[in-house]
Structure 1
Amino acid sequence: MKTALTYTVNSGDSISNLAMALSGAAGVTVEEVTAANPDINPNALQIGSVLSIPSQGERLNYTVLHGDTLSGICAGLAECTHMTAAAIETSNPTVSPNAIFPGQQLKIPQTHGTAAPMPVTNAEYRGYWAWTYSQSAVPANATMSMAFSGWADVQTALQDSAPKLAHLVGTKFLCVGGGNQSGAFTSANLTALTAAIQAGECVGYDGIAYDVEEGYSGLESLFTASFATAKSKGFKVLVTVSHSAPYGITDSAALMKSFFADANIDFLSPQLYTSGKETGNDYSTSHGVSWSDYAACKAKIVPSLVNASMYDAAKDYFAGQGVSIRGFVQWAQS
Structure 2
Amino acid sequence: MAQISLEKIVKRYGTVETIHGVDLEIGNGEFVAFVGPSGCGKSTMLRMIAGLEDITGGRLKIGDALVNDVEPRGRDVAMVFQDYALYPHMTVGQNIGFGLKMRGEKPEVIREKVAEAAGILQLTDLLDRRPGQLSGGQRQRVAMGRAIVRKPKVFLFDEPLSNLDAKLRVEMRTQIKRLHRMLRTTTIYVTHDQVEAMTLADRVVVLRKGEIVQHGRPLELYERPNCRFVAEFIGSPQMNILPGEVIAGDRGPALSFAGGVIALDHITAARGTKVDIGLRPEHLLLSLPHEADFSVEVDVLEELGSDTVAICMLGGREITMRMGAGDALDLPKVIHLRFDRKKLHVFDAQSGARIEFTA
| Alignment TM-score > 0.5, same fold | no
Larger of the two Rg values belongs to structure: 2
Greater percentage in strand: 2
Normalized against structure 1, the TM-score is what? 0.34
Normalized against structure 2, the TM-score is what? 0.32
